Amino acid sequence: MTFTRPDPFTTRPTLQGTFGMSASTHWIATAAAQAVLERGGNAFDAAAAGAFVLHVVEPHLNGPGGDMTGVFVTAEDPGRPVVLMGQGPAPAGATPEHYRSEGLELVPGSGALAAAVPAAVDAWLLLLRDHGTWELQAVLEFAIGYARDGHPVLGRVGATIAAVSGLFREHWTTSAELWMPAGRVPAEGELLRNPAYARSLERLLEAGATESSREARIDAARREWRQGFVATAMVRSVQAPHRHSSGMDHRGVLEMSDLADFEAGYEPAATFRFRGHTIAKTGPWGQGPALLQALAILDGFADEYLDPSTELGAHTILEAQKLALADREAYYGDADVQLDYLLSAEYAATRRALITGRASLEFRPGKVRGREPFHPPLRTEYLPPALVNDDDGSVLRGSGSGAGVGEPTVLGTGETRGDTCHIDVVDRWGNMISATPSGGWLQSSPAIPELGFCLGTRLQMTWLEPGTPSTLTPGKRPRTTLTPTLVLRNGSAVSALGSPGGDQQDQWQLPYLLRTIVGGYSPQQAIDAPTFHTTSMPGSFWPRTWEPGGAVIEDRLGDGVIAGLERRGHRITRAGDWTLGRLSAVVRDPMTGVLQAAANPRGAQGYAAGR
């Protein structure tokens, strides 16, 4: 092993066992998923139960009105990774012409004009129907209970509500009624209830009560979501003009037909083979293949160039990430993307040759035959004046470097960066899933009072400029940042992992993969190790700014390494010792059946459980 030796101290052990493992960004979701395994459910029953709990306990990071992507294998076919596609498209009325007629140059970062068709709930129900074993009522009982009876609210939820309390009181009064009981921000640890969402889930169950089979009962709930009371309430909610992050009032464009016509589905995973392991991601309608491109570039370097704990390794990794993310902007979208070529050895070699000993300050997409790369407007200013500190809820001034531990940076307009949560589960039979639910967070748009949640803002990932691979187009999916990962070896899945963090999700997963695959780190050692990411690419979130040469680094990487990176030309933002990344992971050895799990200590929120 040529990597820097991992610190023998870890914040917690890498769990080991043979029965089942769960890991997520919130301890209650992890506990719910593990409880399902303990009661005989499989990994898909458990992940679905945990995901619906995440809607309740992390409402600032995801919600039922949002989206999700997952990648999984079944015990019957452990070598075939499948993508669970829960990313809804743009509504039929979401045209660039309409948005420009509203006086907009970008899709807003908050408000119903930014809403794609909600897809998360339909995706989880589809997975449960086809690959789960439990009745829907048993899966949902955890979320219903926490929504109805309350759960101790996170301090970060209160900080998020505080950041948008003025917006809620003045413009989004339904949100104030839901999230500010008695007119105040809930205190950390206070029991927070959402009876409207509990009732919504109960009504989904009632829709299938008379059906004769488990599958039919789940399908009835899906129809009720897409065509019944949920759809009706969502469409009604966008009719009234309301404040958006643009500072103007607009109506949404979501219609009943948009909801009725969409169904979640399955897709083949995009894959790349790296150092004897196959890494599986979403297709290029998500940012996942950017991680594969970075691995393709790095695969041509000797191991000493791949150690994230050294100056040489961190520099090389940052430069590879810039090149991969430039291609993401230039070519990725819900379109015909020449991914085979972008992942080819020939193309990776041309990209690798651009990496020198100095940090690039340029936006450098590659050349793809027959395609003109899209060069997005490179906005460098960061307009809003204040951010919520992830760690203590205080107000930050400043740099626009984005989220820290994967919690959102939230402005008073509702604009959010770095949202999302994550869950991984593996069971004793070998079923394994990595899933990243997101969107529909409480600060997205006005709450729908009869449902207990709001619509998401995923359309802010699209451009209004014509001819780009991710131009806002009715029926097309926005290029999502959601990017779970599955790792396979010798024809079987061996690990599921992921992280919240918007544009940083794959950037934080890359050092983990290098440390575990090349460096020999244990899962918890790799999660605990200091990490970093580049901001030298146009952000996916409104207002789509970038910082040429920007790199955000945990101080624990070391003064010497950081000084060396600065000498190479990187424009460093020190992020503190324990701030970047919220990874979790589960692992399975197909030869022995031994399972492992690990979770992020940053923010004292993520947990793994298992035996």
Find the Cα–Cα–Cα–Cα dihedral 259, 261, 265, 268, rounded to 10°.
-120
Quote the CA–CA distance of 162 and 160 in Å, as a whole number. 5
CA angle centred on 317, ends 315 and 319, rounded to 5°: 70
In the chain (611 residues long), the average pLDDT of successive 10-residue segments reads 87 98 98 98 98 97 97 98 98 98 94 97 98 98 98 94 95 97 95 98 97 98 98 97 95 98 98 98 97 98 98 98 97 96 98 98 94 84 39 30 47 60 98 97 96 96 93 97 97 97 94 98 98 93 87 97 98 94 96 97 95 98
In this structure, is the dihedral angle defined by the CA atoms of residues 498, 499, 502 and 503, taken in order, positive or negative? negative
Closest Cα partner for 528 from 308, 250, 276, 346?
308
pLDDT (0 to 100) of residue 543: 77
Residue indicated by tokens 């719910």 = 32
Kindly give, in sequence order, each residue whose CB lies less than 8 Å from that of residue 535, ignoring residues fewer than 6 positions away.
Answer: 400, 401, 402, 546, 547, 550, 551, 552, 573
pLDDT (0 to 100) of residue 416: 56
Quote the CA–CA distance of 38 and 611 in Å, as a whole number. 10
In this structure, is the dihedral angle defined by the CA atoms of residues 404, 410, 411 and 413, taken in order, positive or negative? positive
Helix then strand then coil, in percent of the chain rounded to 5, is 35, 20, 45
Quote the CA–CA distance of 367 and 406 in Å, as a whole number. 32
Residue 426: strand pairing partners: 21, 432
Amino acid letter, residue 195 = P
507 and 298 in contact (C-beta within 8 Å)?
no
Helix (H) or strand (E) holding 140: helix 136-149
pLDDT (0 to 100) of residue 379: 73
297 and 350 in contact (C-beta within 8 Å)?
no
The stretches of 356-504 forming alpha helices (DSSP H) are none
- The angle, 0 to 180 degrees and rounded to 10, between the axes of the packed helices 345-352 and 311-331 is 120
pLDDT (0 to 100) of residue 524: 98
The token pair that represents 413 in the structure block: 């307009």
Closest Cα partner for 462 from 10, 18, 98, 5?
98
The stretches of 208-361 forming alpha helices (DSSP H) are 214-227, 229-237, 256-261, 288-298, 311-331, 339-342, 345-352
Task: Using only the alpha carbons of the chain, give its radius of gyration.
Answer: 22
Quote the CA–CA distance of 271 and 281 in Å, as a whole number. 6
Closest Cα partner for 446 from 247, 249, 259, 243?
243
DSSP state of 344: S
- Where do the structural domains in the chain lie, given as residue ranges? 28-256+405-461
Quote the CA–CA distance of 252 and 59 in Å, as a whole number. 22
Catalogue the E-assigned strands of 56-173: 67-74, 77-86, 151-152
pLDDT (0 to 100) of residue 408: 57
Closest Cα partner for 472 from 173, 100, 61?
100
